[in-house]
Amino acid sequence: MNIEQIPSPVQDLGFEQISRDSICEGVLQDSPQLFMTDGRWNLPALILSDNNPFTIQVAFYPSTVKEDCRRRTVLTGSAVSQLEQAISMLTALSDAVHPSYPPQAIREILCNCVCHRSYESPVPTQIGVYTDRIEFLTIGGLAQGLDIASVEMGIAASPNPALANILYLMGIIQNYGTGIGKVRRLYKGEKSQPRFEAAGGVFKVTLPDCNRAAAEKRAVVYFASEKDQILSFARDQGMVTRREVEELLACGQTKSFGILKSLCTDGLLLRRGSGRNSVYMPV
């Protein structure tokens, strides 16, 4: 049964959190999808209200394994408020110059967690933050007849279409059925790729830390100077690019270009190509 056909067990609902946004409030007032045919609030209305009993649980672990949880936070209230809190919490894990996790990827996955979870179960959406990844675990598998490949092709089959449509009208989610493909594109070129898994009525998404590989590479051995580090890398690999310098030193374009230019001036590197296609060869 679609959740819009289920009456809210609580009819005295509050919407203070949504009412702070004029667009959300306008959609709330004009949406017939929040009511039963007899005028009572339905389950999507409860989910969007301050009385929402369905939660998101965020746990932080100090390593790559699920043990010794450092901190656990339970997000409550309107699903819209929970989304805002979770997005803010997880995007704060990255710095603006070198984000560990693409902010848009985090938003896409969190929106999917709210739109596609099963509201027949009280089990919260569970997010695990590890030192090398974030895992999103949601009760509610794929629609019957679909698999991960089907979803990646853009098939839109939310088990909660009314809720998804309301969140779309509120401007909280974007196009239907584009989430996984968008996340894939955001990780294009990264060594570690997102994983999407579905089994036994559970959907799991793993977003790897984009900076993990570069950080581990930098930590392998101590170099006396940044120039020595770049030279060592170029000699080991046969060449080095400006992007690789940015990853190795966790720096921006200006600094990486300056170091490469200096090494060329010193006669230690030789530049081949131009623009983005430039590579630097050890002399």
Report if residue 216 sits inside a domain: no
Are 107 and 94 within 8 A, CB to CB?
no
CA distances from 150 to 104, 111, 112, 195, 267 (A): 22, 19, 16, 15, 54
- Six token digits for residue 121: 């179960």
Query: Does residue 120 surpass a pLDDT of 80?
Result: yes
Are 123 and 201 within 8 A, CB to CB?
no
Tell me: the pLDDT tens digits for 35-87?
999 999 999 999 999 999 999 999 999 888 888 888 899 999 999 999 999 99
User: Comparing 52-56, 221-225, 248-252, which segment has the lowest mean pLDDT?
Assistant: 221-225
Sequence-distant (≥ 6) Cβ neighbours of residue 30 within 8 angstroms: none
Tell me: the pLDDT tens digits for 258-268?
999 999 999 99
Query: Does residue 88 surpass a pLDDT of 70?
Result: yes
Backbone angles phi, psi at 223, to 5 degrees: -110, 145
Report if residue 43 sits inside a domain: yes
Confidence of residue 219 (pLDDT cuts 50, 70, 90): very low
* Total domains in the fold of the chain: 2
Residue 193 sits in a domain of what CATH number?
Answer: 3.30.565.60
- Six token digits for residue 146: 């679909």
User: Comparing 150-164, 206-220, 233-247, 251-265, which segment has the lowest mean pLDDT?
Assistant: 206-220
Confidence of residue 10 (pLDDT cuts 50, 70, 90): very high
Residue type, 102: P
Write down the pLDDT at residue 5. 92
Write down the pLDDT at residue 224. 53
What DSSP string describes 214-263? HHHHHHSS--SSHHHHHHHHHHHHS-B-HHHHHHHHT--HHHHHHHHHHH
Q: DSSP label at 201?
A: T
Query: Are 101 and 195 within one domain?
Result: yes
- Six token digits for residue 104: 């848009």
Write down the pLDDT at residue 220. 44
- Residue 81: enclosing H or E segment and its boundaries? helix 79-91
Query: Are 227 and 252 within one domain?
Result: yes
Query: Does residue 174 surpass a pLDDT of 70?
Result: yes
CA-CA distance, 273 to 64, in Å (whole number)?
41
The residue segments making up the domain with residue 231 are 221-282
Percent of the chain past pLDDT 70, that is, above it, reads: 87
Query: Are 244 and 206 within one domain?
Result: no
CA-CA distance, 157 to 177, in Å (whole number)?
7
Give the residue carrying structure tokens 């009208």: 169
Write down the pLDDT at residue 58. 95
Of 179, 210, 241, which one is at a domain's C-terminal end?
210
Query: Are 136 and 228 within one domain?
Result: no
Residue 226 sits in a domain of what CATH number?
Answer: 1.10.10.10
Query: Are 191 and 225 within one domain?
Result: no
Backbone angles phi, psi at 261, to 5 degrees: -65, -40
Write down the pLDDT at residue 222. 43
pTM: 0.72
Query: Does residue 97 surpass a pLDDT of 70?
Result: no
CA distances from 277 to 123, 241, 253, 271, 273 (A): 50, 8, 14, 10, 6
